[in-house]
A and B are shown apart, each in its own frame.
Chain A
């Protein structure tokens, strides 16, 4: 288990090293760093499996590291204070200073001995693997992407050394976060991820980017503040800062505060706006931090807390917020025509579903939550990368501009197609997990969530389908598009695509070998959620999905057809792109998607959504904390 410090240390070392290297070596250093992270993660997996694969507790009393972290927290605070004062965002200073002082006071006045600081079990191993593999691939992708990005954005200063450094720093913090058992340590890593997210959102240093980055910062710091208060309360009343003991004890106030921190991190309503604003950042950071891993940290914490949230008010509140976010975000996604915005809303929406599952806290729902997390990480990271690459080729990420992309950028379109299919179509994993979630909500007697899920699935389907339709419209345009995507970008995306399909094919295996042990660790027992006959059906369906279309493709390809122009009332101007208008002049055909802005627009739904969710959250927090005191 000596690998763990190396696993955390290696990306941190790379993060320090990369900005010092000359620009031409940077790419190779990133490959080396990312490859190293993946190899280390596999080594850890091997060592852990060889050791029996159970719960491994590590790192006893290490006062030196504790003090180092306290110093680190003060350094982070200083950084935030300096930047906030420079940009005149004074309330942020209060939040940051407040929580750091609170933590320091607590550690000095009421020191709590911890038996273990790190802990490796199935869930954290899974998170490590997701962070290492998805994260590593995204770093590789970023090398090519950032070159293209700066060719397009000449006005933006090239700080890619800083950018890669932050990505690796983030990976180190993420490993630390998921491996921490001690809440003080977890809090430290939690704060690092918040600050890195803040720095990356502000990468371009435009006014919009700076404002959005501060919004992300204050919302995450609010969560961090709740985290800090939870630690203080736990250490003063329960004399423990171990997450496992806290959950076993079921202490209401720390659990609800930690859950609040989890909600802010995973961008649930009323805190969703920070994730939507985070889309101004370069795409690799959106992929890594704002969809595949960092926001999953919030969900990870909630899953850890799930046994303590089963059948109580905290769980009900969390489940409501999650379900409500699921339906609101999926409705608002309909009205977006910016590709990354759609992905952001979809991320918020899917996180909402996972949060709702965690809030219910039953075995079945956790099963669904973990699977959703796996599938969502892979598919969404791939979609972000594809949209980023398309943006570098087209100079736009407007979905309207992707009309007929299948003919212009076929390879990227296939990748997008697999990603979109993976997000909502039968028989891909997201849908199966949704199906189990639906059953679990019924079993938990939570009818409101059933309604949310039923309506939310319908709206989810609309925004994905219309995007997919835009891609497959076979519209021949005269404008030539050059595929400017680099080889390393394709490498990353191909592996993601293969993983999406592979996870779908190996679904039963993933369920039994990965998810069941996690449930066993959290609950002591695990029942088979899917019966085997259903899995057989799945296999049959998969065959039908893979074989039938390819067979039909071969069949229909050989049939003879006579091609005619499309029907435009008989007034086509020779080809399918122009028609004769009422003045007798040629007019370009322009087909737009449906966006239903008046019905589902962000302007119409965001404010009511925030008000309802904030109201529920505040009232329930008062009720829960008041009831527990």
Chain B
């Protein structure tokens, strides 16, 4: 019964939570830049507006592919919140991302194709750490199952701090934060218009935004996984940890300039080896 409830809660609440977090992000970012910033509910106004706009498109399949992106993200997130296999969840996450890349490529336009290429590089940059992280959970807790991982006597973060560090590093890619925000941008005046979302208008863009909120909650759910254990008090700690990680990402976003893809790839792969790679090696040796 619990898994069903938690999946339902995820499916219904994730867009709300994601939207609120996005609102918080925009407000905090504005304050960091000495501005007032938009209202907290601004993301919901945006989505509502997008759904009422005219449906323009450059081809007939983009909406289909965007919806597939949404559905696969929801499936990946549901697997995490149902307590299923984390490795499978991550595999589906990359399948979902692939649909987004295909949606962008289907336009056959210069900016979205460039964005799609960069998105693929981003996927290649973060994927090793996500796989190693799943292995890390397996080494630390003896199971790939989220349900087992959260029923350990101690939080996983105690033995896998390196993985958490690495995960915070690559979450900047998934949350589309500077310095790794190469394929699309929330900020004005970037070098390739809106990257993968250039040809997405109105409802299509709204679908994409909702999917991003699902993804955001999924990523924070994985952060929570590091902190959860069998005791009830681990839950508030995990929620606080998620918020802290999110605020760190916002801070980083505002403090760093966008890098080139080469730097992105090199830094992510090296960081993966140094954080997750070393942490995993130690876990394997002491096992």
Contacts and interface: CB of A to CB of B under 8 A. Distances in A.
A and B touch in the complex (CB under 8 A): yes
B88 A534 contact: yes
B196 to A, nearest CB: 11
Contacts of B134: 438
B132 A450 contact: yes
B123 interface: yes
Contact of B277 (A451, A468, A472): A451
Contacts of B124: 458-459, 461-462
B143 to A, nearest CB: 10
Contact of B75 (A461, A541, A567): A541
A426 B92 contact: yes
B63 interface: yes
B106 A474 contact: yes
B141 interface: no
A459 B120 CA distance: 10
A54 interface: no
Contacts of B125: 458
A567 B193 contact: yes
Interface residues of A, number: 56
A563 B57 CA distance: 5
A553 B64 contact: yes
Given A552-B64, A552-B71, A591-B110, A450 B58 contact: no
Contacts of B139: 442
A68 to B, nearest CB: 51
Query: Interface SS of chain A: helix, strand, loop or mixed?
Result: helix
Contact of B131 (A454, A567, A568): A454
B108 interface: yes
A376 interface: no
B105 A472 contact: yes
A457 interface: yes
Interface string B95-109: 100100110011111
Contacts of B198: 567
B123 A462 contact: yes
B57 A455 contact: no
A447 interface: yes
B210 to A, nearest CB: 14
B30 interface: no
Contact of B269 (A455, A563, A565, A591): A455
Nearest to B201: A564
Contacts of B94: 426, 461
A566 interface: yes
A458 B87 CA distance: 14
B55 interface: yes
B127 interface: yes
Contacts of B269: 455
Nearest to A549: B68
Contacts of A556: 60, 63-64, 67
B5 to A, nearest CB: 18
Given A552-B71, A576-B58, A462 B84 contact: no
A537 interface: yes
Interface string A169-189: 000000000000000000000
A450 B138 CA distance: 12
B59 interface: yes
Contacts of A459: 124
B138 A469 contact: no
B63 A435 contact: no
Interface stretch (B43-51, B111-119, B218-226, B252-260): B111-119
Interface string B266-283: 000100110001001100
Contacts of A473: 105-108, 113
A352 interface: no
A403 B265 CA distance: 26
Nearest to B198: A567
Contacts of B280: 447, 450
A296 interface: no
Contact of B284 (A447, A453, A462, A466): A447
B8 interface: no
Contact of B111 (A403, A453, A560, A567): A567
Interface string B61-95: 10110011001100100010000110110011011
Contact of A534 (B72, B85, B111, B123): B85
Contacts of A457: 127-128, 131
B64 A591 contact: no
A589 interface: yes
A56 B57 CA distance: 63
A557 interface: yes
A431 interface: yes
B243 interface: no
Interface string A537-571: 10001001000110011001101111111111000
Interface residues of B, number: 66
A152 interface: no
A562 B55 contact: yes
B199 interface: yes
B56 interface: yes
B54 interface: yes
A438 B131 contact: yes
Contacts of B110: 568, 589, 591
Contacts of B265: 599
A215 interface: no
Given A544-B75, A564-B58, A438 B87 contact: yes
Nearest to B268: A458
Contacts of A450: 132, 135, 280
A475 interface: yes
B55 A474 contact: no
Contact of B87 (A435, A451, A541): A435
B241 to A, nearest CB: 25
A105 interface: no
Contacts of A599: 262, 265
A439 B144 CA distance: 9
B116 A469 contact: yes
Contact of A465 (B101, B112, B138, B199): B101
A469 B103 CA distance: 9
A594 B58 contact: no
B95 A466 contact: no
A594 B121 contact: yes
Query: Which of A465, A475, A552, A557 has the most chain B CB within a 10 Å cutoff?
Result: A465
Given A435-B87, A447-B280, A457-B127, A549 B64 contact: yes
Contact of B113 (A447, A458, A548, A591): A591
A151 interface: no
Interface in A374-419: 403-404
Given A454-B131, A461-B94, A461-B98, 11 more contacts: A442-B139, A447-B281, A450-B280, A455-B269, A473-B106, A548-B71, A561-B55, A561-B60, A562-B55, A566-B109, A593-B117
Interface of B: 54-61, 63-64, 67-68, 71-72, 75, 79, 84-85, 87-88, 91-92, 94-95, 98, 101-102, 105-113, 116-117, 120-121, 123-125, 127-129, 131-132, 134-135, 138-139, 144, 193, 198-199, 262, 265, 269, 272-273, 277, 280-281, 284, 287
Interface of A: 403-404, 425-426, 431, 435, 438-439, 442, 445, 447, 450-451, 453-455, 457-459, 461-462, 465-466, 468-470, 472-475, 534, 537, 541, 544, 548-549, 552-553, 556-557, 559-568, 576, 589, 591, 593-594, 599
26 contacts: A426-B95, A447-B281, A450-B280, A455-B128, A457-B128, A469-B101, A475-B108, A537-B84, A544-B71, A544-B75, A549-B64, A552-B67, A552-B68, A556-B63, A557-B60, A561-B63, A562-B55, A562-B56, A563-B56, A566-B109, A568-B110, A576-B108, A591-B108, A591-B110, A599-B262, A599-B265
The 8 closest A-B pairs by CB, nearest first: A469-B105, A566-B109, A458-B127, A475-B108, A473-B108, A454-B131, A454-B128, A426-B91
